[in-house]
Amino acid sequence: MNNNKKSVASFEIFYYEYLNEKGELIGELPGALQNNPELWQKFYRYLVLNRIYDETAIKLQRTGQLGTYPPTQGQEAIGVGMGMAMHEDDIFVPYYREPGTHLTRGVKMEELYTFWGGDERGNNFTKGTRDLPDCIPIGTQSLHGAGIAMAMKLRKEKRAVVVSIGDGGTSQGNFYEAINFAGVHQLPLIFVINNNHWAISVPTELQTHAQTFAQKGIAAGVPGEQIDGNDIFAVYHHVRQAIDAAHQGKGPYIIEAITYRMGDHTTADDASRYRPGNELDENKDKDPIKRLRTFMAAQNLWNEAKEKALYAEVKAEVDAAVQKYLSNTAAPATDIFDYMYDTWPESYHEQRDEVIAYHGGEA
Amino acid sequence: MSAITLVEAVTQALAYELKHDKNVVLMGEDVGVNGGVFRATAGLQEKFGSDRVMDTPLAESMIAGVGIGMATQGMRPVCEIQFMGFIYPCVDQIINHAARLRNRTRGRLTCPMVIRAPFGGGIHAPEHHSESTEAIFAHMPGVRVVIPSSPARAYGLLLAAIRDPDPVIFLEPKRIYRLVKQEVPDDGKALPLDTCFVLREGTDITLITWGAMTHETMQVAEQLAHDGISAEVIDVATIKPLDTDSILQSVAKTGRCVIIHEAARTCGVGAEIAAQISEKALDRLHAPVLRVTGYDTVMPYYKQEDIFMPSVQRIRDSVDVALAY
């Protein structure tokens, strides 16, 4: 026996799944999910809505009607499950591949198209929420989440923040700084790490040598766990559980949700350049939408007719959003100045006047 | 009322806003029990509690990013970066988020935060503790950059910065933190941002400067007065956005201008001021606009920092060139 050493810390990371890739339940469904077909069908509707929104965005981009767009195919269960697990007055701090969360939280679909269509007005969520808009600089949103959670704590509010971040994002200093700060102050902050296995073309084994992304919190004293991110039951239940614990003052939490990015990084990318041969096909079998449909069909809750009706309804909803997006009136040219500061500085007026001279607008 | 130093005026302004606006919180490294390495937050944690005056982990980018998050929810964080040499990890957060938040959400979210940092040379500090890189921030659309040069202006401008609905980089010239004392009533009255201050009126030449360099510049103006030359001294104070009108009015009156700043010359704020004058007042000039600045070198260690810093002599020599032209 060696008396010079003793164990001073250890950790364990648990993995959870409830609905496997074949659409079969593994054990019992937890909590509010049990015998809740209404909720399951709501999940399903949002998953389908997310997917058709996404496919439509790609089509719009390919036909020159939308800018560069990051597809979400394959990872809808994370976005939708996370959004539905949140309470209305929690705050969402996204990276840039979570339309499902925005939609479940009441952001209008046409606003999402407007944002990816190169128009800042898309971030002016008319619902009036203080959720943050999509964050493009990788990982930087982590700190905003920590700041918002700090504001909630200082104001003694029973609210929480959910930050979403990709696997690549967890390599950023800002991520570590945020979980460190959240640990120190035991903030009501939940990180959902969307591990889709790729950061553009860089695979997870080149991001970290850690066995899991969930354990990245351990060094900051922030507990975490891993879930099947294609199992919406797991996402919903574990995110809700972490939020409710945060509301009770139990501090921050990390959930690594494992999924797979079935599409390209963006419409400007071609994943076939770097994705190994049959990886995509293997992951198609894990599709989050397919497995929920299989499960509901086995429960006699779903059939071909319901599927057809839902798709028709959702397509009509997406089409209506596209029409609203495409009929956006042009923003006034002076908008580029008018939201820079509360009041455009006096000494810069000639710049604004110049734009009016070239493009029109009100002085 | 006793006279106070510039750094004490900073403390006085912070205390006033902490007392009168519950959304104001201070955060930074060593700002709590220790009261800040320059004592700018001395006694404030004791008075307002550790929820309002927070020691943070040692990560500057974190301080800025957390401040932004708080600001999006209507709080008014005042973040201290211990020295300007350590502010660069924050630049990502400032450029990519603080400066853009209002614009990219079309006003739905805003960022009413202040980042304070002591800056500048002349106190024989270690490496990385003496730089003047205000131009980096002045170049960024969406922020304000404010630099006080006296206790009264530190108090009034810091109050204005905290109350401003947009992000403000508030740079404190540490060389003059304790150089002069002045009576500063704690009346909560802010001074205007985006406005130059005329420190001395004159008719023969305009000397434009800010921060600690106002001190040497005023000494030169005194010398000039002895020699029968009337110099107007302008403290720019808000270097972004520039109060171009006040500068142009002065130059139109005097026809001669020397710009003095401690920062390196290339793309310094002096270049912007000179460009504005050349665009809008060329026909009023009797001499080229001259700059007296730090050099395009790394800030030397303290044994050689005096070579770098604009001196009374260097300023006077450039003034003489402008006057003789």
Q: What is the pLDDT of residues A50-94, one digit of tens each?
A: 999 999 999 999 999 999 999 999 999 999 999 999 999 999 999
Contacting residues of B for A130, CB less than 8 Å apart:
72-73, 109
Contacting residues of B for A181, CB less than 8 Å apart:
56-57, 59, 62, 66
- Does A101 reside within a domain? yes
Across-strand partners of B146?
B170, B238
Contacting residues of A for B25, CB less than 8 Å apart:
154
The alpha carbon dihedral of B72, B135, B171, B87 has a sign of positive
Closest CA to B38 of B121, B117, B115: B117
Ordered alpha helix ranges (H), chain B = 6-20, 44-48, 60-72, 91-93, 101-104, 134-138, 151-163, 213-226, 244-254, 269-280, 305-308, 312-324
Q: Please tell me whether residues A187 and A59 are part of one structural domain.
A: yes
Return the structure tokens found at A183: 């640990």
CATH number for the domain whose boundaries are B197-324: 3.40.50.920
Q: Please tell me whether residues A322 and A354 are part of one structural domain.
A: no
> Do the beta carbons of residue A189 and residue A160 sit within 8 Å?
yes
Which of A107, A177, A189 best tests the B interface by mutation, with the highest count of B CBs <10 A? A177
- Does A1 reside within a domain? no
Helix, coil or strand: residue A256: strand
Q: Is residue A2 predicted with pLDDT exceeding 80?
A: no
Question: Which residues from A are below 8 Å from B when comparing CB atoms?
Answer: 91, 93, 120-121, 123-125, 128, 130, 132-133, 137, 140, 142-152, 154, 173-174, 177-178, 180-181, 184, 335, 339-342, 345-348
> Do the beta carbons of residue B307 and residue B300 sit within 8 Å?
yes
Helix, coil or strand: residue B205: strand
The CATH code of the domain that includes A74 is 3.40.50.970
**Which of B97, B129, B215, B261 is the catalytic position?**
B129
Q: Please tell me whether residues A119 and A106 are part of one structural domain.
A: yes
User: Average pLDDT in the B245-273 region?
Assistant: 98
Q: Please tell me whether residues A341 and A299 are part of one structural domain.
A: no
Q: Please tell me whether residues A320 and A360 are part of one structural domain.
A: no
Which residues make Cβ contacts (< 8 Å) with residue A44, sequence separation at least 6? A289, A292, A293, A296, A302, A310
User: Average pLDDT in the B171-195 region?
Assistant: 97
- Does A9 reside within a domain? no
- The enclosing H or E element of B26 equals strand B24-28
Q: Phi and psi (nearest 5°) for B3?
A: -75, 145
Give the number of domains in chain A.
Answer: 2
Q: Please tell me whether residues A346 and A231 are part of one structural domain.
A: no
Closest CA to A56 of A311, A258, A289: A311
> Do the beta carbons of residue A61 and residue A80 sit within 8 Å?
no
Question: Across the beta sheet with B231-235, what order do the strands follow?
Answer: B197-200, B231-235, B205-209, B257-264, B290-294
Q: Please tell me whether residues A358 and A283 are part of one structural domain.
A: no
Question: Which residues from B are below 8 Å from A when comparing CB atoms?
Answer: 25, 51, 56-57, 59, 61-62, 64-75, 77, 89, 92-93, 96-97, 102-110, 141-142, 164-166, 194, 241-245
User: Average pLDDT in the B57-65 region?
Assistant: 98
Q: Please tell me whether residues A189 and A61 are part of one structural domain.
A: yes
**Closest approach of A343 to chain B, Cα-based (Å):** 9
Q: Which of A124, A148, A346 sits opposite B106 (nearest CB)?
A: A124
CA distance B56 to A333: 42
The proportion of chain B whose per-residue pLDDT surpasses 70, expressed as a percent, equals 100
Q: Please tell me whether residues A36 and A157 are part of one structural domain.
A: yes
The alpha carbon dihedral of A231, A235, A238, A240 has a sign of negative
Q: Is residue B140 predicted with pLDDT exceeding 80?
A: yes
Which of A134, A135, A143 best tests the B interface by mutation, with the highest count of B CBs <10 A? A143
**Closest approach of B18 to chain A, Cα-based (Å):** 14
Q: What ipTM is given for this predicted complex?
A: 0.95
CA distance A4 to A185: 34
Nearest CA in chain B to A122: B105
Tens digit of pLDDT for each residue in B49-58?
999 999 999 9
Q: Please tell me whether residues A245 and A257 are part of one structural domain.
A: yes
Name the residue ranges covered by the structural domains of chain B. Answer: 3-183, 197-324
Domain B3-183 matching CATH 3.65.10.10: the answer reads no
Q: Please tell me whether residues A51 and A28 are part of one structural domain.
A: yes
Q: Which of A137, A149, A154 sits opposite B51 (nearest CB)?
A: A154
Tens digit of pLDDT for each residue in A152-163?
999 999 999 999
> Do the beta carbons of residue A21 and residue A291 sit within 8 Å?
yes
Nearest CA in chain B to A350: B244
pLDDT of residue A128: 81
pLDDT tier for residue A198 given thresholds of 50, 70 and 90 = very high
- Does A8 reside within a domain? no
- Does A178 reside within a domain? yes
User: Average pLDDT in the A208-227 region?
Assistant: 97
- Does A161 reside within a domain? yes
Tens digit of pLDDT for each residue in A274-331?
999 899 999 999 999 999 999 999 999 999 999 999 999 999 999 999 999 999 999 9
CA distance B173 to B213: 9
Tens digit of pLDDT for each residue in A150-197?
999 999 999 999 999 999 999 999 999 999 999 999 999 999 999 999
Q: Please tell me whether residues A185 and A240 are part of one structural domain.
A: yes
- Does A10 reside within a domain? no
pLDDT of residue A1: 61
**Closest approach of B179 to chain A, Cα-based (Å):** 32
> What range defines the domain where residue A102 resides?
15-267+276-331
Residue A18 has what DSSP assignment?
S
- Does A6 reside within a domain? no
Mean pLDDT, chain A, integer? 97
- Count CB-CB contacts under 10 A for residue B220: 28
Contacting residues of B for A120, CB less than 8 Å apart:
103-106
Closest CA to A120 of A327, A339, A320, A318: A339
User: Average pLDDT in the B104-125 region?
Assistant: 97
pLDDT of residue A3: 83
Q: How far is CA A314 from CA A81, A108, A139, in A?
A: 18, 14, 33
- The enclosing H or E element of A326 equals helix A304-326
Do the two domains B3-183 and B197-324 of this chain adopt the same fold?
A: yes
Contacting residues of B for A252, CB less than 8 Å apart:
none
> Do the beta carbons of residue A223 and residue A253 sit within 8 Å?
yes
pLDDT tier for residue B1 given thresholds of 50, 70 and 90 = confident
